[in-house]
Structure formats: C-alpha cells, structure tokens
Structure 1
Amino acid sequence: MEVIREAPLLRYLRWAKKFVKFFILSLLCLSFAILLLILYLRSQPLPETFVKQTTTIYASNGEVLDTMHRGENRILVPIQEISPALIDATIAIEDRSFREHYGFDWKRLAMAAYIDVINMDMRQGASTITQQLARNLYLTLDKTWDRKIKEALLSIQLELNYSKNEILEMYMNQIYYGHSAYGAQAAAQTYFGKNAKDLSLAESTMLAGIPKGPTYYSPFNDFERAKSRQKLILDSMERDGMISSKQADQAFAEPIKLKERTNENLAEQAPYFRDYIASLVKNKYGIDEELFIHGGLKIHTTLDPVMQKKAEEIVASVLPKDSPNLQAALIAMDPDTGYIKAMVGGRDYKTSQYNRVLGKRQPGSSFKPIMYLSALQNGYTPLTLMKSEPTVFTYDQNKQYIPSNFGGRYAHAMINMREAIKTSDNIYAVKTIDFLGPQKVVDEAKSLGITSNLQAVPSLALGTSPVSPLELNAAYAAIVNKGEAVKPIAITSIEDNQGNILVEEKPEKTRVADPVASALLVNMMQSVFERGGTGFRVANEINRPVAGKTGSTDYDAWLSGFTPQLVSTVWVGYDKNQKVDDVKEGYLSKKIWAQFMEAALKGQPPALFDMPAGIVSVYIDAQSGKLATEHCPTPQLFYFASGTEPQEYCTDHLPENEAPTPLKPPDSSTFWQRMGSWWKPSD
C-alpha cells in the first residue's frame, strides 16, 4: 500500500495559517487586556497626595514678613503664570516628545531597557515628564523594578485623567530647583527675585537646567557650570524649532542678574512677632502644624514693618552693651482697631526666644490708672484730696499693710488725684483702693482686658499682681478709647491655597467704662510728663501730646502710655530675679518708650486728646481747691464731669470789698491745636 506524503510547502502553509490565527487571537487578547487595563486604571482614583506649599506671612503693607516651608519652599501657580520660555525649555531638555506620547517615550524606553539589561542594573533613565511627576507625587526614588512598574501604571492614570497642560502645570509646580525651592514660582523668586511669569529666555533656560542636578547646576554654587547647562538647553530649543539661532545667541550672551542671597536665620525682622503668629494659628485658630507649614496659607497680619524696625533698633541702641542680661519688651497697638503694630520680645532672639511681651511681671505703679478709672466712676473727682504721709492700713480684720513712697518722700499735706498720678504717690493710691474695695479694682481690670489672676488685696493698688505687657497695653487702649475696650489683633485674615477665607478678624469695641471718666483720667495722665512728673526726664524727647504712667518694682521698670494714634508699653528688667537699678536701668524703659513713640509717629501731625460732651474745664486755686479768680497766684486748669466741679470761689487773695472775678478757661486754640494747623511732614 502506497503512503502519500504531504508536501513540505503545504505543511508550512498550514503551520503559517495556524500561526497567523494564533497571532491575531493573541493580538486581540492583548488588545482586550490592554483595553481592560485602561478601563480599570481609568476607573481607579489616583492615590491621595498632599503637595507641600509654602505658607506666607504678610505685614500690614503687603510685604512678605516670612515664609514657612521647613526646607520645601513651594508656591503653586497656574500654568498661565509661568513663562512660556521656561515651559519650552523644560520640555526641550526633559521630554521633547511630551506633547506626542501617552506617558512613555518608547524609543527612549527601549534604549534605556537595552542598556539596563546589558549592565544588569537600573542606571539608565528614560523618564518622561509624566513619569517624573508620578514618581514625585506618589513614589520613592528607589531604583527597583517594582517601583518602575508602579510608576508606569500611575503615568497611564495621569495621562487618562489629565490633559497635557494639566500634567505640565503639576510638574512645573512640583519639580525641585535647589536651595529649598520647589516649583517654578519659588525658584524664580529664589534665584532672580521675580515671578515665574516674568522670566526672560535667558533666565528660563538657566532655571530649566537646574533640576538635573540642583546642587551641581545651581548658579549660586557654580555659575560657569550653570552657563554650560544653559547653552545645552538653548541648543535643544533651537533644534526643536522653539527659538531661532539668533534668539539662542542673544539669550546666552544676556547678563544674568542673580538675586542677592540673604542669610535666612534667626536675625530676620520681627522674630518674636512671627512666633506669636505661629502660636495664634495653631492654638487659637486650630490649624495643625502640617497645614500651617506646608499648606500654602496666606496669613495677613497687622505688623507695621517701619514701626517694627524702629522698635528693634531703639531697643538695641538703648540697652547697654555692658549689661547683656538686661532685657526689654515692647508692644505697640493702634488703640482704635487693636491692631498690633510692633512687638519686641527681647534684646536678642538668637540668644533667647522667650517672648517677654507675653511674660508676666509685676507692673508696679503702671497699674494705678486702672484703679483711678474705677475711682472716677465711684465718686472721686480729679480734685479729691487725701493726705500723703506714712500710713498703716488694716485689712481682713487683723492684717496690716504699710506701703511707702519711693525714696521716703511724702508731701505731708493734702494732695489731689492729678498730683498723685503725676508724682506716683503710693499712699494716695492705697487709700483709694481702701475706699473702693480691692475687688472692685479687680473687676475694673478684668473689664479693661487684664486676663491674669489678680489678688484682691490693698497692695494691688501698687501693681503687685503680675500681668503681661500685652495685657496692660490693651487696658491702656481702652482708657484712651474713652472707655471702649478693643481686643488686640495680630492676624486680620488667613486664606487657604485656593483663596478661601479660613479666618477673618475685625476690630471689636466694647463699652467697659464711662467715657467722661476715661477722658478725665487721660488728661491727668498727661501730667506724668510735666515738670515734677515721673516721666519728665524724657519729656524733651517727645514733640507731641502724650499721656502715660511709669511703674517700678525692685525687679521691673515700666512705662505704658499713648497718643490718640498709638498705645505702647515698654518693660525693662532681668529674667532671673536680679534687681534693677532704678536710676540707671529703670530710666531705660522711659527712654525706649519716648524714643519709640516719637520715631513711630514721625510723619504724622501731633494729635490732641479730645474731650467728650459732659466735661467742663475750670481754673482752680492750688491751695484752697476752690474756683480761682484773677487774683489767685497759681491757678491750675482742671477738667471735671459736669456738675462735679467746685462751686465756691477762692477769696484768700481777693482785695478787700472786691467781688470775685472768675478766670475763664482757655479756648480751643491751644498750643498743640495751633501747631497741628500749620504742621507739615518733614522730608
């Protein structure tokens, strides 16, 4: 029987037919698998990511006071706010096929894979912009196959979920440019001191070269190396038709002006204020540390950078260099709004970060105006008389308190409230609190803004309960505001990175004291800077109406006071129970206060303390306490709540059989009002 053998050609054709079917089927299966993978990846959300952005703190005039980033300075901007030249330069050097591929550059990938296989490692990179973005957003920089697979899948997801411009925008805001600058905006500000949208072609090509090696190609570190990298990028842009040869040559020849590098350390302006802002953000407004540092917040503050600089300079110049442990604190506010304008928490932030504006110390006699405000609302007038002499006070049935005047000096005569404030008479003060009852003074202090615990004892009149400069300053603001308390404000608003308002603070005034009593107290506090007053020593340094009160203890020296535009408090002393020399060191609080107030208000005309309705002014004979006549030798102008002024005329100096002729109070054309009418700001 004959066996018919199949021709080789037929067998080959049959095998080829089966192979084609298998190939088509495999291709269909692969396509189907790819389709399923794409559909699956398209349906899956990308991993959550928190892009760290720089939080910016602004002064009241819009200047940047500080940036918070802890080594990752990033300011997100839309792609429209990035120079097209920088975008083109980045594409030319990082991923010239970016606009055409779907996340992978297959030619570069194949070459990289071949080299990796030959070398049996991962040393060759072929990452596209999309792959780099996926790695930076979601992955580590480990060179493993597992990471590369994840990177590939995430790149596909990015391409499926975002347009090319959206991917490019994310990439340009994510990439690291060295010197803690992440993203094009932070980099442009770091290297050139300008916004990313304003970069020239020359600046753009230099910046685009840095991410390849942020330290190696930084123009700060090696300018010539950065120029060499810039030339490579310009050539790449010319090759791809992005620029002409002439443009490339001009850009390379253009002088590059780098931003002067500042020493970003503890010596920055207003360090104590910046710490105070951080505390408020986290503790008062409940914003967590991560969002505060990396959330891209915009924090608008009340700080006046001009006043702040003057405050820091004056504290540094007045405190003696041969007493390095002597400290100072200064706080200044706008009494109308409560806006904090300046804050100095110590003489050297690098040495000590403790903010003494918030620390609590005994205010001494600078607490007395709070008590006198209470007295004026409870029957006292500026002419209320008490005898200044050594006195023993008994309280709580059998307890004794024996205050004394500074230096053992007593008038040994009847003095009025104005004289008591002017000379800081302690006996008058303790007699006043004895009349009122200490608890009434505690309640008055609380209503004015004192939050510290106060002991309701006779010595409270002399400021024995510790308070902070910030608290005392707020209380003085209520006094100059004619009895309206205003809360201290350091932050006006906080915006998130989308521009949404998270926090907004507006001035809030609350009526806490009688306006007439407050105005009378302000008038009497002006006497502190008159001859014989405790602040007279620095009166010649102030060229405008001011009012205030000094205070001293063995360990503290204070001066708190105001004009209608500004209220400030200065404390001087030591941190560790070292006594203050009242003559040499105690005087420094007055000097700092006077110099600061004059410097801070330079350029503003002198302002008067106006009197509200319900106040009358009359001349008083100093000896009799009655209405002065034209024959009284030493008449003094006093202000009273209408109806509380004396009604009897002094007859001690009248000629025989002559009727008293009262002295008329001055008209409104006082020295300061006349001065304000012609005042012009100095150059």
Structure 2
Amino acid sequence: MEVIREAPLLRYLRWAKKFIKLFILSLLCCSFAALLLILYLRSQPLPAVSINQTTTIYASNGEVLDTLHRGQNRFVVPLKDISPFLVQATIAIEDRSFHKHYGIDWLRLARAAYVDVIHMEKRQGASTITQQLARNLYLSMDKTWERKIKEALLAIQLELNYSKDEILEMYMNQIYYGHSAYGAQAAAQTYFGKDAKDLTLAESALLAGIPKGPSYYSPYVDFDKAKSRQQVILQAMVRSGYITPEQAEQAYAEPIKLKERNTEAAAEQAPYFRDYIANLVKNKYGIDEETFIHGGLKIHTTLDPVMQKKAEDIIAKVLPKDKPDLQVALVAMDPATGHIKAMVGGRDYTKSQYNRALSMRQPGSAFKPILYLAALQNGFTPLTQMKSEPTVFTYDNGKTYIPKNFGERYAHAYINMREAIKTSDNIYAVKTIDHLTPQKVVDQARELGITSKLQAVPSLALGTSLVSPLELNTAYVTIANKGERVKPIAITRIEDSQGNVLVEEKPEKTRVADPVASALLINLMQSVFEPGGTGHRVAGELNRPVAGKTGSTDYDAWLSGFTPQLVTTVWVGYDKNQKVDDVTEGYLSKKIWAQFMESALKDQPPALFDMPAGVVSVYIDPASGKLATEHCPNPQLFYFAKGTEPQEYCTDHLPNHETPTPLPPPDTPSFWQRMGSWWKPTE
C-alpha cells in the first residue's frame, strides 16, 4: 500500500498558520491584559504624599528673618515660574523622549536591560523623568527589581492622572540640587540668589547638571567639575534641538556669578522674637508643628529689623562684660497699631533661650501710672496733696502694711501727684490705693491690658504683683494712646503654600479710659525726666519729648516710657535670686531705654504730646497749690480737666497786700514748656 507523504511546504504553511493564530491570540491576550492593567491603574488612587516646603518668616519690610526646613529647603512654584532653559536642560539630559513616552521608555529600558544582563549587574540607568518622580515621591532608592517594577507601575499611574506639564512641575519642585536645596526655586536662590524664573541659559545648564551627583557637581564643591558637566548639558540641549551650537558656546563662555556662601554659622536675627512667633503660630493660631516647619507657610511679622539691630547693639554695648549673668529684656511697640517693632529676651541666645520679655517679674514703681490713671478718673487732680511721711496702713481686718520710700527719704510735708510721680514717692502711692481700694486698681490694670493675676492688696500700688515686660508695655501703649487699648500684634498675616490667607491681624482699638485723664497722666509722667526726677540721669541722652516711669525692686530695674511714636519697656536683672544694685546695675535699664529710644527714632522728628479738648492749662504756685501771680517766685505750668483747676490766687508773695495779678495761661504752650526745663529744641 502506498503512503502519501505531505509536502514539506504544506506542513510549513500549516505550522505558520498555527503560529500566527497563536501569536495573534497571545497579542490579543496581552493587549487585553494591558488594557485591564491600565484600567486598574487608572482606577487606583496614587499613594498619599506630602511634599515638604520651607516656611519663611518675614520682617515688616519684607526682609527674610528665618527659613524653616530642617534639611529640606523647598519652595514649590508653578512651571511657568521656572526658566524654560532649566526645564529644557533637564529634559535634554534626563529624558529626551519625555514628551513621547507614557511613563516608560521601552527602547531605553531594553538597552539598559541588555547591558545589565551582559555584565550581570545593574550598570545602565533607564529611568524616565516620570519614573524618577515616582521614586522620589513614593519609593526608596534601593536598586532592586521589586522597586523597579513598582516604579514602572507608579510611573504609568502618574501619566494616566497628570499631564506632561503637571509631571514636569512636580519633578522640577522635587529633585535635589545639593546644600539642602530641593526644587528649582530653592536651588536658584541657593546658588544665584534669584528666582527660578530669572535663570539664564548658562545658569540653567549648570543647575541641571547637579542632580546627577549633588556633592560631586556642586559649583561650591568643585567649580571645574560643575563647568564640565555644564558643557555636557549644553551639548545635550543642542542635540535635542532646544538651542543652537552658537548659543551653547556663548552660554559656556558666560561668567558664572555664584551667590556668596557663608561657611560659618550666621548670627540669627531676633532669635527671641522668632521663638515668640513660633509659639503664637502653634498655640494661638492652632497650626501644628509639621505644617509650621514643612508647610511652606509665609509668616509676615511686625518686626522692624533696623530697630531690632539697634536694640541688640545698644544692649551689647551697655551691659558690662564682667557681669555675664546680668540679664535684660526689651519690648518696643508702635502705639498706633500695637505692632511689636523690637523684642530682646536676653543678652545671649546661644547661652540661654529663655525669653525674659515674657517672664513674670515685679514691676515695682513702673506699675504706678496704672494706679494714678485710676485716681485721675476718680476725683484726683494733679494737685491732689498727701503727706509724705512714714505711715502704717491697716487693711483686711487688722493686717498692717508699712511701706518705705527709697533710702527712707520723705518730704515730711504735703506733696502733689506730680511730685509723687517725679520722685516715685511710695507713701503717696499707697495712700492713693487706700483711698481708691485695691480692687479698683486691679480693674484699671485689666482695662489697660494686664492679664496676669494681680493681688488686690495695698502693696499692689508699689508693683508687687508679677507682670511681664510685654504686658506692662501693652498697658503703657494704652496710656500713650490716651486711653485707647490696642492689642499687641506680632504677626500680621500667615499664608499657606498656595497663597491662601490663614491668619490676618489688624489693629483693634478699644476706648478703656478717659482721654483727658490719660493726657493729664502723660504730662505728669514727663516730670520723671526733669531735674529731681528718677529718670533725670539719662535726660541728657534724649532730644525729644518723652514720658515714662522707672521701677525698682531688690531684684529688678525697669524703665517703661514712650513718645507719641514708640512705646518701650526695658528690664534689667538676674534670673536667679541675686539682688540688683540700684545705683550701678539699676541705672543700666534707664541708659538702655534712653539710648534705644533716641536711636530708634533718629530719623523721625520730635513729636508733641498734644492735649485733647477739655484740658485747661494754668500756672500754679507749687507751695500753696493756688493760681500763681506775677509775684510767685517759682510758678509751674499744670494741666487740669476743665472745671477742676484751682480758682483761688496765691497771696503769699504779694507786696503790701496788693490785688493779685494772675499769670495768663498760655493758649498754645511751647514745646519746652510742655516738656519742662530739661528739654530744649535744637537750634
């Protein structure tokens, strides 16, 4: 029987047909699987990611006080705010096919895989920009196949969820350029001191070369290597068609002007104030630590860096070097707005971060203006007289209190309120609080802005309850504003990384005291700097009208005072229970205050303390307390609420019992009459 054999050609065709069917089926299965994978990846959310951004604290003039990043200095900016040269340079060197692939460059991947297999190790990189972004956002830097697969899948997800420009924007804000600079904006500022949008072609090519090896190609580390890498980048840009060979040559020849880099730790600006800002951000405004440090916030503050520097320099100059434990606090505020213009919390932040501007101390006689404002609103006048002599006070069912004047110096005669403030007479003060009741003084302090606990006892008149320099200064701001309380403000605005306003503070004024009584008190407080006043020792350092009050305890030395433009409180003392010598160490608070006030206001003309409607001025004979005549040897100008001024004329100095001829009160008192004899305008 004859066996019919199939022709080889037919057999080959049959097998080819089967192979083609199998190939098409496999291709369809793979396509279907790929479609399912894409649909699955498209439906899955990308892992949550938080990009750390640098928080910036600004002074009132826009100067940067501090940047907070803890090693990741990053400012996220939109792609339009990044130089096209830098974007093109990055694409040219990192991923020439970026706009053509869908997350993975298969040709590049195959070539890299071939090299890796030939050498049996991972030598060739093939990651696209999208893959690098996926790795930086979501994965570690481990060189494992598992990480590579995850990276590829995440890259596809990124391409499915974002446009090419959105991916570029994320990438350009994510990559590391060395020296703690993450992203294009931080890199541009770090290396060139400019914004990313302003980078030139030469600068862009230099920056684009750094991410390959930040510690190797940094121009700060090795400028020659950085320039060599720049040339590679420029040639890659030519091959990609972004620039011409002539542009590349010109860019390479262009001199590179790097931002000067201070290798030594720079002195921190206003460190106590910055700590105060951090405390407000977290505790007053409820912003958590992570957002504060890494949220890219823009915190605009009230600090005047020029005033701050003057305060720090004066303190460093005045405080003796041989007494390193003697500490200081200074707070300066604008009375019109409540803005804190300067804050010093100690003499050396590197040795002690404790902010003494917020610490609780006894204000001593610096508290007395609060007492006297209450008195002027409750029947007292500047001429109200009390006898200055040793006195025993009884209160609370038999308790006794025996205050003493400094150095046990007493007038042993009746003195008026002006003399009591000028000489800081303690007996007059305690007699005043005894007349008013301590609780009324506590209430007055609350109205002026004192929030700390105050004891309603006679010794409150002498400042025995604890307050902070910031609190006391706030109360003095209310006095300077003639009875309008304004809240202290250190932060004017906080914006998030997108520019949304999270916090905005505006001045808030509240009428809490009579403007006439407040103006009278201001006039009386000017006497502190007149001859015989407790602040007269530093009057020679001042060339403008000022009002204030000194204060001292065994452990504290104060001077709080103001002009119409600025209110400042200075405290000097020791952290521990070490007494302050009032003659030498106590004097330093006055010296710092006077020098700071004059220096801080150097560029502003002297300003008057004006009087509101309802105030009258008359000349008084201080001995009799009556209206002065032309024969009185020492007439003094006093101000009163209209209707409370004396009506009788002094007759003690009239010759032959003549009819008294009064001195006419000035309608517009001159500058130096308002101030007293110690201040005269410069010619």
TM-score, structure 2 as length reference? 0.97
Paired residue for 1:530? 530
Instruction: Determine the C-alpha separation between the residues in 2 that align with 1:395 and 1:265.
Output: 58
Instruction: Determine the C-alpha separation between the residues in 2 that align with 1:118 and 1:402.
Output: 99
Instruction: Determine the C-alpha separation between the residues in 1 that align with 2:127 and 2:672.
Output: 74
Instruction: Determine the C-alpha separation between the residues in 2 that align with 1:672 and 1:632.
Output: 20
Answer with 467-476 or 578-587: which moved more: 578-587
Instruction: Determine the C-alpha separation between the residues in 2 that align with 1:263 and 1:329.
Output: 31
Which deviations, in whole Å up to 9, do the C-alpha atoms of 1:252-300 show, x marking residues without a partner?
A: 2222111112368572111111111111000000001111111111111
Instruction: Determine the C-alpha separation between the residues in 2 that align with 1:671 and 1:489.
Output: 32
Shift of 1:576: 1.1
Is 2:494 the partner of 1:497? Answer: no
Shift of 1:425: 0.6
Shift of 1:7: 2.4
Which deviations, in whole Å up to 9, do the C-alpha atoms of 1:586-635 show, x marking residues without a partner?
A: 11100111111111111111111111111111111011001111111111
**Contiguous gaps of at least 5 residues in structure 1:** none
Shift of 1:199: 1.0
Contact kept in structure 2, 1:544 and 1:672, CA below 8 Å: no
Contact kept in structure 2, 1:530 and 1:539, CA below 8 Å: yes
2:21 alignment partner, SS class = helix
Instruction: Determine the C-alpha separation between the residues in 2 that align with 1:365 and 1:553.
Output: 8
Shift of 1:680: 13
Paired residue for 2:333? 333
* Matched AA of 1:334: D
Instruction: Determine the C-alpha separation between the residues in 1 that align with 2:404 and 2:119.
Output: 92
| Counterparts in 2 of 1:215 and 1:59: CA distance versus 1, 3 Å | same
| Counterparts in 2 of 1:366 and 1:669: CA distance versus 1, 3 Å | closer
Is 2:206 the partner of 1:206? Answer: yes
Paired residue for 2:628? 628
Instruction: Determine the C-alpha separation between the residues in 2 that align with 1:669 and 1:463.
Output: 34
Contact kept in structure 2, 1:545 and 1:607, CA below 8 Å: yes
Superposition pairs of residues 229-628 of structure 1, within 5 angstroms: 229-262=229-262, 265=265, 267-628=267-628
> Where has structure 1 moved over 4 Å in runs of 4 or more?
263-266, 672-675, 679-682
Which deviations, in whole Å up to 9, do the C-alpha atoms of 1:91-132 show, x marking residues without a partner?
A: 111112212222122222112212333344444321111111
| Counterparts in 2 of 1:662 and 1:269: CA distance versus 1, 3 Å | same
| Counterparts in 2 of 1:669 and 1:416: CA distance versus 1, 3 Å | closer
Contact kept in structure 1, 2:671 and 2:681, CA below 8 Å: no
Which deviations, in whole Å up to 9, do the C-alpha atoms of 1:117-176 show, x marking residues without a partner?
A: 334444432111111111111111122222111111111111122221111111111111
Shift of 1:669: 5.3
Shift of 1:674: 12
Contact kept in structure 2, 1:382 and 1:640, CA below 8 Å: yes
Contact kept in structure 1, 2:672 and 2:681, CA below 8 Å: no
Contact kept in structure 2, 1:298 and 1:496, CA below 8 Å: yes
* Matched AA of 2:249: D
* Matched AA of 1:509: K
Contact kept in structure 1, 2:523 and 2:674, CA below 8 Å: no
* Matched AA of 1:230: Q
* Matched AA of 1:314: I
Instruction: Determine the C-alpha separation between the residues in 1 that align with 2:264 and 2:139.
Output: 31
1:639 alignment partner, SS class = strand
Shift of 1:583: 1.1
Instruction: Determine the C-alpha separation between the residues in 2 that align with 1:461 and 1:111.
Output: 88
Instruction: Determine the C-alpha separation between the residues in 1 that align with 2:672 and 2:89.
Output: 65
| Counterparts in 2 of 1:199 and 1:673: CA distance versus 1, 3 Å | farther
Instruction: Determine the C-alpha separation between the residues in 2 that align with 1:680 and 1:135.
Output: 71
Paired residue for 1:664? 664
* Matched AA of 1:467: V
Shift of 1:412: 1.0
Answer with 253-262 or 475-484: which moved more: 253-262
Answer with 233-242 or 377-386: which moved more: 233-242
Contact kept in structure 2, 1:423 and 1:534, CA below 8 Å: yes
Q: CA RMSD in A?
A: 1.8
Instruction: Determine the C-alpha separation between the residues in 2 that align with 1:29 and 1:70.
Output: 51
Shift of 1:379: 1.2
Instruction: Determine the C-alpha separation between the residues in 2 that align with 1:122 and 1:323.
Output: 65
Number of positions where the alignment pairs a residue of Structure 1 with one of Structure 2: 679
Superposition pairs of residues 154-233 of structure 1, within 5 angstroms: 154-233=154-233
| Counterparts in 2 of 1:104 and 1:210: CA distance versus 1, 3 Å | same
Which deviations, in whole Å up to 9, do the C-alpha atoms of 1:23-49 show, x marking residues without a partner?
A: 001111111111221122222222221
Contact kept in structure 2, 1:605 and 1:680, CA below 8 Å: no
Contact kept in structure 2, 1:210 and 1:218, CA below 8 Å: yes
Paired residue for 1:111? 111
* Matched AA of 1:411: A
Instruction: Determine the C-alpha separation between the residues in 2 that align with 1:317 and 1:118.
Output: 72
Contact kept in structure 2, 1:266 and 1:349, CA below 8 Å: no
Instruction: Determine the C-alpha separation between the residues in 2 that align with 1:263 and 1:414.
Output: 66
Contact kept in structure 1, 2:302 and 2:339, CA below 8 Å: yes
1:594 alignment partner, SS class = helix
Instruction: Determine the C-alpha separation between the residues in 2 that align with 1:103 and 1:223.
Output: 34
Which deviations, in whole Å up to 9, do the C-alpha atoms of 1:347-406 show, x marking residues without a partner?
A: 111111111000111111000101111111111111010111111112112222111111
**Contiguous gaps of at least 5 residues in structure 2:** none
Contact kept in structure 1, 2:185 and 2:195, CA below 8 Å: yes
* Matched AA of 2:215: T
Paired residue for 1:36? 36
* Matched AA of 2:49: T
Answer with 551-560 or 397-406: which moved more: 397-406
Instruction: Determine the C-alpha separation between the residues in 1 that align with 2:83 and 2:681.
Output: 46
Contact kept in structure 1, 2:328 and 2:347, CA below 8 Å: yes
| Counterparts in 2 of 1:300 and 1:541: CA distance versus 1, 3 Å | same
Instruction: Determine the C-alpha separation between the residues in 2 that align with 1:277 and 1:264.
Output: 25
| Counterparts in 2 of 1:42 and 1:17: CA distance versus 1, 3 Å | same
Contact kept in structure 2, 1:130 and 1:155, CA below 8 Å: yes
Shift of 1:457: 1.2
Is 2:29 the partner of 1:9? Answer: no
Superposition pairs of residues 67-86 of structure 1, within 5 angstroms: 67-86=67-86
Instruction: Determine the C-alpha separation between the residues in 2 that align with 1:211 and 1:263.
Output: 22
Shift of 1:580: 1.0
Instruction: Determine the C-alpha separation between the residues in 2 that align with 1:225 and 1:665.
Output: 83
TM-score, structure 1 as length reference? 0.97
Contact kept in structure 2, 1:304 and 1:341, CA below 8 Å: yes
Shift of 1:657: 4.3
Contact kept in structure 2, 1:630 and 1:661, CA below 8 Å: yes
Which deviations, in whole Å up to 9, do the C-alpha atoms of 1:426-485 show, x marking residues without a partner?
A: 111111111111111111111111111111111111111111000000000011111111
